[in-house]
Amino acid sequence: MILVLAQHIVLMDTFEKNACKTEEWKKYEPRLLKKMKDTGKTEQMKIHMDRKEYDSVVSLLSKCRYPQYNWDSNTDIRIAEKLEKRYPEKVLKWYHSGLGNLSSNQKREEYARKAEVMAKVRHMLVDVMNDETRWKKLAAKVKNDNLRRPAFQQEFAYTVPGWEAI
């Protein structure tokens, strides 16, 4: 019930205009938002995004784990992408958390997933924050720490722009 309620909050403007009078909505909205706290973080972020409450969204995002699997919430990633320019350091930190441990042997599929995350880190540092020096320093360390992992290097070279030149 609460999840359905939360999904309907995203359409609040339409609801307010079509389902009740402004005075009624002013009474109903606070109760609805109070119930929202019982929903999942992703649903809360959607609602706050719709309401343009970006500080609340980035706060919730920082409490979420970066999705570890393709079937995990891509919604969180799409929300983070919308916040990149407003909160570059916080979104960068969230992306960076998705890298996990880069110093251990893993399967190629995991290297490929981490390469996708590293491409997002690069995008933040180079394209959004214009800090290529910081990117090169991070990338050089990661690359040098993993020189003896050919599958790691291949996946990163395939996915991360400029990886081979580092």
How far the first Cα of the chain sits from its last, in Å, is 52
Q: Which residues contact 60 (CB under 8 A, 6 or more apart)?
A: 41, 44, 45, 48
CA distance 32 to 26: 10
CA distance 120 to 160: 9
Which pLDDT does position 43 carry in this prediction? 85
User: Would you write out the chain's pLDDT as a tens digit for each of its 166 residues?
Assistant: 454 455 555 555 555 456 778 787 777 777 777 777 767 888 888 888 988 999 999 999 999 889 887 655 588 999 999 999 999 999 999 999 999 999 899 999 999 999 999 999 999 999 999 999 999 999 999 999 999 999 999 999 999 999 999 8
Q: What is the pLDDT of residue 1?
A: 43
Indicate the DSSP class of residue 66.
P
| Cβ within 8 Å of residue 46, ≥6 positions away | 6, 7, 10, 75, 79
Q: What is the pTM of this model?
A: 0.81
Q: At what angle do helices 88-97 and 54-63 cross, to 10 degrees?
A: 20
